[in-house]
């Protein structure tokens, strides 16, 4: 692989990670603001923000799936470290490769079935906001694609933070 191609893939990698991470942080901030506003409205003004639950749930679902993609990138997914630590180094490398292949399969599963779920719910509406119900699931295939990209980059030996720090 040429150095120019590697730099380009690295740049895309960093951009994707920064976009996902930034969006997840912003979503968390907005969810906290919405829930806090609902608490104030209910307890102080004896009122209710009708749309707060749907919007907070939507953002929480999006944040969870994007957080999953970040976890895959950072290696925070569930692993059996204790089991692997007893294996010889060669077997550990094999387990790591199998793990990466399984993560690619899970990413493909998220992408494929996420698109099918979006298509199946495209004609439904959320109760209060009247937004398309498919918005709830739109981050599932996005997270799947990001997972597959992150794992593929790891398999190619490309790290997001090589030569340049990724802000967290």
State the pLDDT at residue 92.
87
Contact 124, 86 (CB under 8 A): no
SS3 125: strand
pLDDT at 110: 98
Tokens found for residue 109: 């599963």
Q: From CA 143, how far away is CA 127, in angstroms rounded? A: 26
Dihedral sign for Cα atoms in the order 115, 116, 118, 119 = positive
| Integer CA distances (angstroms), 67 to 97, 139, 148, in order | 22, 11, 14
Lowest mean pLDDT among 17-26, 78-87, 114-123: 78-87
If DSSP codes are grouped into helix, strand and coil, which group holds residue 132? Answer: strand
44 is written with which tokens?
Answer: 């102080």
pLDDT over 70 for what percent of the chain?
92
Q: How many CB atoms lie within 10 A of CB 62?
A: 22
Please report the sign of the dihedral spanned by the C-alpha atoms of residue 100, residue 102, residue 108, residue 111: negative
Look at residue 65 in the predicted model and tell me its pLDDT: 94
User: Angle of helix 139-155 relative to helix 52-74, nearest 10 degrees?
Assistant: 10
Q: What pLDDT, in 10s, does the model give residues 135-163?
A: 999 999 999 999 999 999 999 888 766 44
Query: Does residue 8 register a pLDDT over 80?
Result: yes
Average pLDDT over residues 62-67: 92
pTM over cut 0.75:
yes
**Tokens matching residue 121:** 């719910």
């Amino acid at each position: 692989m040429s150095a120019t191609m590697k730099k380009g893939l690295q740049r895309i990698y960093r951009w994707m990670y920064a976009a996902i991470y930034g969006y997840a942080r912003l979503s968390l901030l907005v969810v906290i603001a919405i829930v806090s506003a609902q608490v104030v409205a209910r307890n102080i003004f004896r009122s209710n923000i009708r749309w707060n639950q749907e919007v907070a749930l939507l953002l929480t679902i999006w944040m969870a799936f994007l957080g999953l993609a970040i976890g895959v990138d950072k290696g925070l997914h569930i692993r059996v470290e204790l089991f692997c630590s007893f294996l010889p180094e060669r077997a550990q490398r094999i387990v790591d490769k199998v793990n990466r292949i399984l993560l690619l399969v899970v990413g493909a599963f998220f992408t494929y079935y996420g698109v099918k779920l979006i298509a199946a719910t495209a004609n439904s509406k959320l109760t209060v906001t009247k937004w398309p119900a498919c918005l709830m699931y739109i981050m599932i295939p996005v997270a799947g694609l990001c997972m597959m990209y992150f794992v593929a980059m790891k398999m190619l030996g490309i790290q997001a933070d090589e030569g340049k720090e990724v802000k967290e």
